[in-house]
Structure 1
Amino acid sequence: MDISIDLLKLILPELLITHFDITNHEVENGVLHFYFEEKKESPKEENERILIAHGFHKEIAIQDFPLRGKNVYLHIKRRRWLDETTKRVAQRDWNLVAQGTRMTIEFAAFLKVLSQYQS
């Protein structure tokens, strides 16, 4: 495995590294942006259906843990699938965003614990 992928697994949610391709990254005004697209592997939970890749959903941006004093945003494009038999759109059920936030679940949990110590 590429050492850069091993390093990314340490600093980014493993789910992203495993199921998404990193397409770009940039630092803009002290903010680090990572861009991801879901891999073109049909969902294993849908193996009884014949699915074909059918574009992407609208990109979402999620705030993640800061790195080296820089805010980090993950820009994620989820893949849309078309059931060849029924012609209905299908998608994976990702739980990437903490309820009511625009942050990863891990980052939201970290901030919640941190706020309890400050009270």
Structure 2
Amino acid sequence: MNRTQPIDYKSVLSLFLPAGLLDYFDITEASNMGDYFMLVLVEKDIVPENLQDLPLISNGFHKTITVADFPVRDHTMYFRIKRRR
């Protein structure tokens, strides 16, 4: 019997999302709203290499923004994005 590999959903989603998006954001919610799809993206807590020696303080998130993107199967795709301060 052939054993199949489990599906790597991150690699499948990366085919439909802008390049590199999943390197910096986690998908926390996905919804089919009928006429459109909604993905909620939260920025990962990644400190740039050139700032790792500094004592950084997390100040929460900026106001959530909504971005409309390309249609998927005749549905608009909206991204609700939360970026760190």
Q: Same fold (TM over 0.5)?
A: yes
Q: Relative contact order: is structure 1 or structure 2 higher (C-alpha 8 Å, sep ≥ 6)?
A: 2
Instruction: Tell me the residue number matched to 1:52.
Output: 57
**4+ aligned runs moved over 4 Å, structure 1:** none
Percent of pairs with identical residues: 37
Structure 2: runs of 5 or more not aligned: 1-6
Superposed counterparts of 1:2-21, under 5 Å: 3-21=8-26
Structure 1: runs of 5 or more not aligned: 81-119
Which has more helix, going by share of residues? 1
Shift of 1:39: 0.5
- 3-state secondary structure, aligned to 1:66: strand
Q: Size of the alignment, in residue pairs?
A: 80
Q: 2:41 aligns with which of 36, 44, 54?
A: 36
